[in-house]
């Protein structure tokens, strides 16, 4: 291994040689660094990727093709190079490899990559490199060769064509390739001169380099530059042997940097450089000049630049420290270092010679704003750049450094966020405010930027004159008119139109006369004739005008005189004067003779003219006539000729022919009469008459009216009272004027009193300094009486042109008027009201307040006589013109942007700078529009590219079953909501998938009429369906709204109270004596499956179950005597009871009841107990299965199944036929007789989670064969009413095991039309209520059927019940009340939770309810309450909890000092102290005015006080602090009832009967079903009676009747009563009674149906079903 110095020496030597050899070859190469870069990059690119030429950029290929042609020319040159270089290369490689080994020894892991700087830029190829590399090399060299040849050829061309091209501009030079100068020695010289500065610098560097050899000095820029720009030509042939390690770019560079080679002929210098170079490497420093190249050289990742650091020590030499004297060092530094001057660089040095600076901006090109740079810095930079090679290319044509427009915004576009912590100060919270559009915000005057520009408008308001004012007296009116007329007169006088016209006429006449004189006797030339004719025409016209004017003058004068006379008359009449007006008539004497003469002349002239005209007219008419006459004649002649012809032909031809030929001649021309000769005498008369009318008579003095204000005005004291008060009033008035600029009040005048003459003088000038464009200037006239002022009128003043300046501007009189109606009771005539001058009131006039405002608006003039007007806008442009130029949208509007024509027009008008980058898009758009016939679509699209992004066309999407399925699933259509695994292929999806869905869709359209029986219900069902769908859709949307508690489960912060209570609980006894029911753990519904849920029904005991009536063949003795409505049960029962004991069969108990519970078709029953008050205490467990196995809460909520709890009587019949066997065989048949039932919907159980209580069993009104056990005594007054409610009761406890979590109702806040304040108040109220009494329901707002939140009191409003119901019992108010309640209960009930599964409680208004004929308890309650209110009762709505309904609504009425609670769904009513009242808790009371929440200690009705006026018991919603805002009702004004068609009811009745009969036969598949027609007809007659009585009165009577008729049968049966909604519930009800289950062989059945129609399509259905068993 040789020492580093040896190595260095060698390298230096080789290099020098190489330089020399290459210098000759390459000196012609141009050294334009940037273009070299390009080439080198390209070379690298092609070499590495081994790309064919096709993938190169087009320029390269082009060049290549040229290259190929010129290849030969260059070949020779190349060969030379090839011969020369090989030996050098070898040696260098040796050195290189040696060093590489060192490197590897130092750091094994680092790749053997190498900085391009560590050795002379020489590609080194390791021996044994792969074939691909060599091919790459080959290609590279080939390319190189090609490039050279091409360059040579190009240069040859260039040198001939344009030898001085590079002098033209820097840009030009850039476009030339470096090859241009290859063979251009003469140009080279030029070149060199341009680099003079650089060369100089280099020389300095050379000197420095010599010294530097011994010391480790810094390499200069020059060195670095040279180092990289040396020409070490890679020799293609030999390079194959070398490893490709350095970037190929290097070579490209080298070949490009020929010029440096040329300069580096001195070996010394070379060596110095080398030295410096190496030194620099050791120190790892970089020089700024080399940096550019450096950066890109380093780009190759494989090359590790810093590997050299590790090998640096190997090159270190240890020497003693050298001292260089200060002065010497300074000197040396001066030679080496360059300090750019701070002085500005002369433009000439920045530009190529003989080139003048060119300012693009002056040429109208757009030049962006340059970034601000300190001038000294700029100078330094320029100086520095100029020192560099190619420095000049940094300068633009204008001699300044090329710079891009400043991209930096002046202010940061986004303010810094201070939100460091997660909590943001509420004061800093962003508040959303709707964007407001200010009208004038953008209307600033252009050029407002410069502060000197202040613009001032002067508004001079001088005064105001009323032409009419309400305080005018009659005299004033006349005076005003007089003044007006006089004004008119003066103006006319001033204009003197009549005089003018007369003069004109005279001169015209003279002219004609002269012309005629001139041509007297001679024939007039054509031109003269024409001119005379024209003059005559003119004369005629002028004369007419003059006549009109004269007439007007005269009329005006006459009117003035008349008005003056009227005024005088009025003054006389009223005996006082108000106005100082006085009219004088000045007479001007005229010379009668002359006057008459003139008059005469005038008339003569006129007459003669008229005569001439008339003559002319006559002549014209005459000629016309003659022409016509000629025509007629010729026609006549033709006809005659024709007739002659006809006569000849007449023998042969028929008449038709004749007619035809006659038609050929055409119509007969009118035979016109000759015109009459004008009567000349007449003419003269006319002229005379006219002159008398419109002209002053000759000799009559000229009247000149003069109006003066000299007349005395009667002083106030002498005026009558009315006039006096008028004057007083006038004195009170004052006026002022507001000045509005751009609709903003800027100033106002002082208030001035109204004078007697109704003139106000202001004389104020307002100087307005304006910032915004003047848009409007308005003056508002205000009149004030005392302190109040009113706007009289508004005057718009036009914005003055900028030439209108103060001082020169004229005052303008702006007329104004107002149409206010004002009347007074004094002399003032008022305005806008008719008044009359006549005593009898005829000839009325209506005058409006009006007047003239004299004002002047002008631009102010500054101190130095500069008008303070904004720069003159375009004359037609109006005030926006400044703005328009700047903003396209403001000019043509946003819609106009689509209108290309408009846009183009705008662009042309505003002279857009096409080079301004901000206008690029518009210009592009315009070029597209103007360039081609690109049809601009006539429609507007929001998403223009939507089509391109469409996955498939809509039709395809729709056609594809798979996509349809996917879509329906994502829409959560119920059928597909949980569809699993949609097949991936279209073919795997069967059409059947959609069958159900399509069927449902179709059903939605066509409601099955059979199912619904009558058409109205069908419609209602359809409507309901639609409402349901829309609500469900809303719900689906709402379901995707989450609140925190849905997503995150987090413990509530325990309050102190809870903590304390928990502590207290620790001390609780472990086993309390009275244990309470503990809350069971709730189960979320998701993880449940079939069979997991059980319904537990605990039947505890029954009360008052009807007992059997002994079978009696004869009717009981007691008759229906004295039975009143109030005691329907007690009376007959009391009469029967004594008999019972004796009549019962021996040994038979009173009754053997058992309870059967059926749910979802599974039926279970209790054991049989005995007696009317049995005690079962049994638990029945029924399985529950949800539809489709879906146990989600929404599905569970919508389960419509009901739990039927039926009470039956088990009857044993001895069926032993043979009497002998009775002793040892028991053969009985068990029959069960239905006694009553309770229906509890599953949804109720689910929502309440448990139902516990005693329930009333709904028993049929008539139970054949059964008697009601005597009930407790009921006495007196309303207790009797109460007793009605008594019946059979069952104690039950029902629950679900395990307990299910009922689904939450929607928390979504529905939109509302209520005021925000009310909503907040109601929220607070409800929250407060639930906090204090969590178990008492409180309701203030509800959701109506449209999904809007409505305050609850809006639902309460008196509404009329059907008139028929009111008329039914004219003198029984109680019966009427009950009938109304019954009517309400007949409307079918449909819980919202079922129809709107899991959504919420929707309240419909009464009319909606009656139309839908279905609703919840609330709707029933609201309707009933409204009915009661309209009947004059005091009624409230109760929101409370009842069994079994749960939270519900009842109605409370107050009558006869008692409170009654009505169950609206059943029509039952209870007294306040009724123990069996199903209402358990009362939460709040509601009427139309207020809501009261129950804050009493107890909530059960029995223990409550219903006096809502006591605030300590009832908390009102609207209180003194929050008064009722007066909410209007949502209910309609009144209800309209449709009279129900009785025929339809009969039809329905028949159909129900038919369906039921079929069903009963269907239910008895193994037994024949016989119908007893006789019984049926009896029952059928009976049912209407039942309906009439409400199912009470006639029972006993009916039973007797039946028994008498069907004595030989044992009858058991009963009527069922239902409201009609659908047929299905009826069937269910009939089925649940189990009548059909009688299996006696000789059983017969009877079935009767009666439908009673009520108004509004409410139907009451009675089904009487009975089984008859023959007693024999």
Binding range to another protein, per CB under 8 A, among 13-21, 1048-1056, 1182-1190, 1319-1327? 1048-1056
1048 vs 1067, which CB is nearer to another protein?
1048
Q: Binding string to another protein for residues 1149 to 1178, with x set by CB under 8 A, is what? A: ------------------------------
Q: How many residues does the chain have?
A: 1672
961 vs 1610, which CB is nearer to another protein?
961
976 vs 1325, which CB is nearer to another protein?
976
Short-list 1424, 1450, 1449, 1438, CA closest to 1486: 1438
Minimum distance from CB of 307 to another protein (Å)?
18
H, E, C per residue of 652-663 = CCCHHHHHHHHH
CA torsion angle for 1607, 1609, 1610, 1613 (degrees, to 10)?
Answer: -100
Q: Assess 1040 for contact with another protein (CB under 8 A).
A: yes
Q: 1480: helix, coil or strand?
A: strand
Minimum distance from CB of 981 to another protein (Å)?
5
Could you tell me if 1501 and 1472 are in contact, meaning their C-beta atoms sit under 8 angstroms apart? yes
Minimum distance from CB of 1050 to another protein (Å)?
4
CA 692 to chain centre: 76
Per CB under 8 A, contacts with another protein among 301-320 are none
Could you tell me if 857 and 891 are in contact, meaning their C-beta atoms sit under 8 angstroms apart? no
Q: Phi and psi at residue 917, in whole multiples of 5°?
A: -60, -25
Return the structure tokens found at 308. Answer: 């050299």
CA-to-CA separations, 264 to 181, 186, 956, in angstroms, rounded: 19, 20, 76
How many CB atoms neighbour CB 238 within 10 A? 19
Q: Assess 865 for contact with another protein (CB under 8 A).
A: no
Which helix (H) or strand (E) covers residue 763, if one does? strand 759-770
Q: Assess 981 for contact with another protein (CB under 8 A).
A: yes
Could you tell me if 1658 and 1413 are in contact, meaning their C-beta atoms sit under 8 angstroms apart? yes
140 vs 1421, which CB is nearer to another protein?
140
Q: Assess 1081 for contact with another protein (CB under 8 A).
A: no
Query: Residues near 539 by Cβ (< 8 Å), separated by ≥ 6?
Result: 505, 508, 509, 512, 609
Q: Which of 412, 438, 918, 984 binds another protein (CB under 8 A)?
A: 984
Binding range to another protein, per CB under 8 A, among 273-281, 949-957, 1045-1053, 1354-1362? 1045-1053
Q: Which residue has the tokens 């590997």?
A: 307
Q: Phi and psi at residue 645, in whole multiples of 5°?
A: -55, -45
Q: Assess 1188 for contact with another protein (CB under 8 A).
A: no
Q: Which of 408, 523, 1044, 1066 binds another protein (CB under 8 A)?
A: 1044
- For the four alpha carbons of 1428, 1433, 1439 and 1441, in that order, the dihedral sign comes to negative
d(CA 1552, CA 1554): 5
Minimum distance from CB of 989 to another protein (Å)?
10
- Per the DSSP assignment, residues forming a β-bridge with 1455 are 1458
Q: Binding string to another protein for residues 389 to 428, with x set by CB under 8 A, is what? A: ---------------------------------x------
Q: Assess 957 for contact with another protein (CB under 8 A).
A: no
Q: Assess 809 for contact with another protein (CB under 8 A).
A: no
Q: 717: helix, coil or strand?
A: helix
Short-list 1588, 1613, 1616, 1619, CA closest to 1599: 1613
| DSSP result, 1230-1244 | EEEEEEEEEEEEHHH
Q: How many residues bind another protein (CB under 8 A)?
A: 27
Q: Assess 109 for contact with another protein (CB under 8 A).
A: no
Minimum distance from CB of 1047 to another protein (Å)?
5
How many CB atoms neighbour CB 1570 within 10 A? 11
123 vs 1516, which CB is nearer to another protein?
123
Q: Assess 299 for contact with another protein (CB under 8 A).
A: no
How many CB atoms neighbour CB 1161 within 10 A? 6
Q: Assess 980 for contact with another protein (CB under 8 A).
A: yes
Q: Assess 1049 for contact with another protein (CB under 8 A).
A: yes
Q: Assess 995 for contact with another protein (CB under 8 A).
A: no
- Torsional class of 343: left (φ above 0), alpha (ψ -120 to 50), beta (otherwise): beta
Q: Which of 1042, 1114, 1146, 1672 binds another protein (CB under 8 A)?
A: 1042
Q: Assess 979 for contact with another protein (CB under 8 A).
A: yes
Minimum distance from CB of 133 to another protein (Å)?
9
Beta strands (DSSP E) in 1443-1490 are 1446-1455, 1458-1463, 1468-1471, 1479-1486
Q: Assess 985 for contact with another protein (CB under 8 A).
A: yes
Binding range to another protein, per CB under 8 A, among 306-314, 977-985, 1413-1421, 1493-1501? 977-985
Binding range to another protein, per CB under 8 A, among 8-16, 118-126, 1043-1051, 1318-1326? 1043-1051
Q: Binding string to another protein for residues 118 to 157, with x set by CB under 8 A, is what? A: ------------x-x-------------------------
CA-to-CA separations, 1395 to 975, 1194, 1200, in angstroms, rounded: 17, 11, 9
Minimum distance from CB of 1308 to another protein (Å)?
14
Binding range to another protein, per CB under 8 A, among 543-551, 820-828, 982-990, 1436-1444? 982-990
Q: Assess 677 for contact with another protein (CB under 8 A).
A: no
How, if at all, do strands 812-818 and 788-797 pair?
A: unpaired
| DSSP result, 1339-1381 | -SEEEETTS-EEEGGGG----PPPHHHHHHSTT-HHHHHHHHH
Could you tell me if 158 and 176 are in contact, meaning their C-beta atoms sit under 8 angstroms apart? yes
How, if at all, do strands 1175-1184 and 1349-1351 pair?
A: unpaired
Return the structure tokens found at 1520. Answer: 């003194």
Minimum distance from CB of 126 to another protein (Å)?
13
1058 vs 1215, which CB is nearer to another protein?
1058
Could you tell me if 1151 and 1171 are in contact, meaning their C-beta atoms sit under 8 angstroms apart? yes
Binding range to another protein, per CB under 8 A, among 430-438, 975-983, 1191-1199, 1200-1208? 975-983
- For the four alpha carbons of 587, 588, 594 and 599, in that order, the dihedral sign comes to negative
Q: Which of 1046, 1179, 1323, 1608 binds another protein (CB under 8 A)?
A: 1046
Q: Assess 48 for contact with another protein (CB under 8 A).
A: yes
Q: Which of 138, 966, 1280, 1618 binds another protein (CB under 8 A)?
A: 966
945 vs 1043, which CB is nearer to another protein?
1043
Q: Which of 332, 969, 1094, 1101 binds another protein (CB under 8 A)?
A: 969
Q: Assess 1077 for contact with another protein (CB under 8 A).
A: no
Q: Assess 1056 for contact with another protein (CB under 8 A).
A: no
Query: Residues near 1621 by Cβ (< 8 Å), separated by ≥ 6?
Result: 1017, 1388, 1390, 1413, 1414
Question: What angle, rounded to 10 degrees, do the helices at 4-26 and 267-283 form?
Answer: 130
How many CB atoms neighbour CB 859 within 10 A? 24
Beta strands (DSSP E) in 1104-1161 are 1107-1108, 1153-1159
Q: Which residue has the tokens 């009981």?
A: 1116
Q: Which of 420, 428, 935, 1043 binds another protein (CB under 8 A)?
A: 1043
Binding range to another protein, per CB under 8 A, among 319-327, 878-886, 974-982, 1644-1652? 974-982
Minimum distance from CB of 1053 to another protein (Å)?
5
962 vs 1348, which CB is nearer to another protein?
962
Q: Which of 664, 943, 1050, 1217 binds another protein (CB under 8 A)?
A: 1050
Q: Assess 1060 for contact with another protein (CB under 8 A).
A: no
- Provide the binding-site residues for another protein, judged by CB under 8 A: 48, 130, 132, 422, 966, 969, 978-985, 988, 1040, 1042-1044, 1046-1051, 1053-1054
């Amino acid at each position: 291994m040789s020492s580093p110095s040896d190595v260095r020496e060698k390298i230096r030597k080789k290099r020098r040689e190489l330089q020399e050899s290459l210098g000759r070859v390459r000196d012609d190469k141009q050294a334009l660094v940037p273009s070299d870069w390009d080439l080198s990059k390209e070379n690298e690119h092609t070499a590495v990727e081994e790309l064919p030429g096709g993938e190169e950029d087009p320029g390269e290929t082009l060049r290549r093709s040229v290259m190929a042609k010129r290849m030969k020319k260059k070949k020779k040159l190349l060969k030379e190079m090839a011969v020369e270089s090989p030996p050098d290369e070898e040696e260098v490689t040796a050195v290189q490899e040696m060093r590489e080994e060192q490197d590897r020894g130092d750091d094994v892991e680092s790749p053997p990559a190498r900085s391009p700087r560590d050795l002379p830029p020489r590609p080194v190829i390791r021996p044994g490199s792969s074939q691909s590399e060599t091919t790459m090399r080959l290609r590279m060299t080939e390319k190189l060769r090609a490039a050279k040849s091409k360059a040579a050829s190009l240069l040859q061309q260039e040198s001939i064509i344009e030898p001085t091209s590079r002098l033209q501009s820097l840009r030009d030079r850039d476009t030339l390739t470096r090859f241009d100068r290859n063979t251009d020695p003469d140009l080279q010289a030029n070149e060199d001169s341009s680099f003079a500065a650089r060369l100089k610098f280099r020389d300095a560097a050379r000197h420095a380099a010599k010294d530097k050899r011994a010391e480790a000095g810094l390499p200069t820029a020059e060195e670095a530059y040279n180092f990289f720009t040396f020409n070490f030509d890679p020799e293609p042939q030999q390079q194959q042997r070398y490893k490709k390690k350095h970037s190929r770019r290097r070579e490209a560079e080298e070949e490009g940097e020929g010029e440096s080679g040329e300069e580096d002929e001195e070996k010394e210098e070379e060596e110095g450089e080398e030295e410096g170079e190496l030194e620099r490497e050791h120190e790892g420093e970089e020089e700024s000049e080399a940096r550019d190249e450096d950066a890109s050289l380093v780009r190759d990742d494989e090359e590790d630049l810093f590997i050299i650091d590790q090998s640096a020590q190997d090159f270190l030499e240890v020497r003693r420290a050298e001292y260089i004297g200060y002065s010497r060092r300074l000197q040396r530094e001066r030679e080496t270092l360059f300090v750019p001057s701070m002085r500005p660089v002369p433009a000439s040095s920045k530009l190529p010679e003989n080139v003048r600076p060119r300012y693009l901006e002056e040429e109208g090109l757009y030049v962006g704003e340059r970034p601000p740079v300190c001038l000294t810095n700029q100078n330094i930079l320029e100086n520095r750049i100029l020192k560099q090679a190619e420095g000049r290319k940094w300068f633009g044509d204008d001699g300044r450094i090329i710079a891009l427009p400043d991209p930096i915004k002046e202010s940061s576009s986004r303010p810094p966020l201070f939100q460091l912590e997660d909590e943001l100060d509420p004061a800093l919270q962003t508040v959303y405010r709707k964007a407001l559009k200010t009208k004038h915000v953008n209307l600033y005057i252009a050029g407002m930027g410069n502060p000197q520009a202040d613009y001032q408008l002067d508004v001079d308001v001088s005064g105001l004159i009323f032409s009419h004012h309400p305080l005018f007296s009659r005299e004033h009116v006349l005076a005003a008119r007089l003044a007006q007329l006089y004004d008119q007169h003066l103006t006319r006088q001033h204009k003197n139109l009549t005089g003018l016209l007369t003069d004109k006429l005279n001169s015209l006449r003279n002219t004609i006369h002269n012309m005629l004189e001139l041509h007297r006797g001679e024939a007039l030339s054509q031109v003269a004739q024409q001119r005379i004719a024209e003059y005559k025409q003119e004369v005629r016209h002028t004369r007419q005008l003059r006549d009109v004017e004269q007439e007007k003058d005269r009329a005006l004068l006459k009117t003035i005189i008349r008005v003056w006379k009227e005024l005088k008359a009025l003054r006389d009449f009223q005996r006082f004067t108000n106005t100082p007006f006085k009219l004088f008539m000045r007479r001007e004497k005229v010379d009668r003779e002359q006057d008459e003469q003139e008059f005469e002349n005038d008339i003569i002239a006129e007459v003669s003219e008229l005569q001439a005209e008339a003559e002319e007219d006559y002549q014209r008419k005459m000629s016309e006539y003659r022409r016509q006459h000629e025509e007629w004649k010729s026609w006549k002649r033709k006809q005659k000729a024709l007739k002659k012809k006809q006569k000849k032909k007449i023998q042969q031809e028929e008449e038709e022919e004749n007619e035809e030929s006659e038609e050929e001649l055409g119509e007969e021309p009118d035979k016109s009469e000759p015109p009459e000769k004008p009567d000349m005498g007449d003419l003269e008369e006319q002229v005379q008459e006219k002159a008398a009318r419109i002209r002053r008579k000759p000799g009559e003095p000229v009247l000149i009216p003069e109006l003066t204000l000299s007349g005395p005005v009667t002083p106030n004291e002498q005026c009558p009272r009315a006039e006096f008060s008028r004057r007083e009033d006038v004195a009170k008035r004052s006026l002022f004027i507001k000045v509005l600029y751009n609709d903003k009040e800027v100033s106002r005048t002082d208030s001035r009193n109204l004078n007697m003459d109704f003139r106000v003088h202001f004389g104020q000038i307002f100087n307005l300094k304006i910032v915004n464009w003047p848009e409007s200037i308005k003056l508002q006239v205000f009149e004030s009486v005392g302190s109040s002022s009113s706007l009289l009128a508004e005057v718009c003043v036009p914005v003055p042109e900028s030439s209108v300046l103060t001082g020169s501007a004229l005052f303008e009189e702006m007329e104004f008027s107002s149409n206010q109606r004002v009347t007074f009771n004094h002399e003032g005539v008022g305005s806008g009201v008719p008044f009359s001058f006549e005593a009898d009131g005829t000839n009325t006039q209506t005058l409006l307040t009006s007047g003239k405002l004299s004002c002047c608006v002008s631009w102010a003039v500054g101190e130095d006589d500069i008008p303070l007007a904004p720069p003159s806008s375009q004359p037609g442009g109006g005030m926006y013109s400044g703005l328009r130029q700047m903003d396209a949208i403001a000019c043509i509007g946003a819609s106009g942007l689509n209108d290309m024509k408009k846009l183009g027009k705008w662009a042309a008008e505003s002279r857009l700078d096409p080079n301004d980058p901000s206008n690029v898009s518009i210009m592009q758009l315009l070029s597209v529009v103007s360039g081609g016939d690109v049809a601009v679509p006539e429609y507007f699209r929001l998403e223009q590219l939507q089509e391109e992004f469409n996955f498939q066309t809509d039709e395809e999407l729709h056609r594809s079953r798979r996509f349809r399925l996917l879509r329906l699933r994502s829409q959560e259509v119920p059928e597909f909501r949980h569809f699993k695994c949609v097949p991936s292929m279209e073919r795997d999806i069967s059409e059947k998938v959609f069958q159900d869905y399509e069927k449902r869709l179709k059903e939605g359209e066509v409601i099955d009429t059979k199912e619904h029986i009558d058409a109205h219900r069908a419609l209602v069902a359809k409507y309901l369906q639609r409402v349901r769908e829309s609500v469900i859709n809303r719900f689906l949307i709402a379901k995707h709204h989450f609140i925190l508690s849905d997503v995150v489960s987090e413990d509530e912060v325990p309050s102190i109270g809870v903590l304390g209570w928990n502590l207290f609980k620790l001390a609780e006894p472990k086993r309390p004596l009275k244990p309470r029911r503990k809350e069971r753990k709730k189960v979320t519904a998701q993880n449940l499956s079939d069979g997991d849920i059980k319904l537990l029904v605990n039947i505890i005991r029954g009360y008052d179950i009807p007992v059997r009536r002994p079978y009696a063949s004869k009717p009981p003795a007691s008759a229906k005597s004295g039975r009143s409505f109030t005691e329907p049960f007690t009376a007959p029962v009391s009469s029967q009871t004594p008999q019972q004991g004796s009549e019962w069969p021996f040994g038979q108990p009173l009754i053997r009841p058992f309870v059967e519970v059926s749910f979802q078709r599974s039926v279970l029953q209790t054991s049989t107990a005995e007696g009317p008050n049995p005690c079962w205490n049994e638990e029945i467990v029924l399985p529950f299965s949800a539809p489709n196995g879906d146990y989600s809460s929404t599905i569970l909520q919508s389960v419509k199944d009901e739990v039927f709890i039926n009470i039956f009587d088990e009857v044993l019949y001895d069926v032993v036929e043979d009497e002998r066997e009775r002793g040892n065989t028991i053969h009985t048949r068990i029959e069960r007789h239905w006694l009553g039932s309770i229906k509890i919907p599953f949804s109720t159980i689910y929502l309440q989670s448990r139902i516990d209580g005693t329930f009333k069993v709904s028993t049929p009104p008539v139970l054949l064969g059964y008697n009601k056990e005597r009930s407790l005594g009921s006495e007196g007054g309303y207790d009797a009413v109460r007793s009605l409610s008594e019946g059979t009761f069952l104690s039950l406890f029902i629950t679900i095991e395990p307990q299910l979590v009922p689904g939450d109702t929607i928390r979504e806040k529905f939109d509302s039309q209520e005021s925000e304040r009310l909503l907040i108040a109601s929220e607070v109220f409800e929250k407060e209520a639930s906090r204090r009494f969590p178990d008492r329901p409180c309701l203030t707002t509800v959701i109506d059927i449209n999904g809007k939140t409505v305050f609850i009191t809006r639902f309460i409003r008196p509404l009329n019940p059907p008139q028929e119901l009111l008329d039914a019992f004219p003198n029984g108010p109680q019966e009427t009340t009950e009938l109304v309640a019954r009517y309400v209960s007949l409307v079918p009930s449909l819980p919202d939770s079922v129809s709107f599964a899991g959504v919420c409680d929707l309240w419909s208004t009464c009319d909606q309810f009656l139309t839908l004929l279905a609703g919840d308890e609330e709707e029933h309650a609201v309707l009933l309450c409204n009915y009661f209110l309209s009947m004059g009762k005091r009624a409230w709505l109760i929101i409370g909890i009842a069994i079994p309904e749960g939270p519900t609504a009842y109605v409370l009425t107050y009558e006869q000092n008692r409170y009654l609670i009505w169950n609206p769904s059943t029509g039952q009513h209870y007294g306040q102290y009724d123990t069996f009242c199903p209402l358990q808790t009362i939460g709040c009371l509601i009427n139309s005015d207020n809501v009261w929440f129950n804050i009493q200690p107890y909530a059960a009705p029995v223990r409550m006080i219903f006096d809502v006026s006591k605030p300590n018991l009832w908390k009102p919603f609207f209180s003194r602090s929050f008064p009722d805002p007066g909410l209007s009702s949502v209910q309609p004004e009144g209800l309209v009832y449709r009279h129900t068609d009785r025929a339809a009811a009969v039809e329905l009745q028949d159909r129900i009967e038919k369906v039921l009969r079929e069903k009963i036969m269907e239910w008895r598949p193994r037994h024949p079903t016989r119908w007893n027609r006789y019984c049926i007809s009896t029952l059928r007659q009976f049912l209407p009676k039942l309906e009439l009585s409400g199912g009470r009165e006639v029972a006993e009577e009916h039973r007797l009747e039946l028994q008498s008729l069907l004595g030989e049968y044992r009858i058991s049966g009963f009527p069922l009563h239902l409201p009609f909604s659908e047929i299905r519930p009826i069937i269910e009800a009939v089925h649940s009674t189990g009548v059909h289950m009688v299996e006696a062989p000789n059983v017969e059945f009877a079935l009767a149906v009666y439908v009673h129609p009520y108004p509004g399509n409410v139907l009451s259905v009675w089904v009487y079903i009975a089984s008859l068993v023959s007693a024999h």
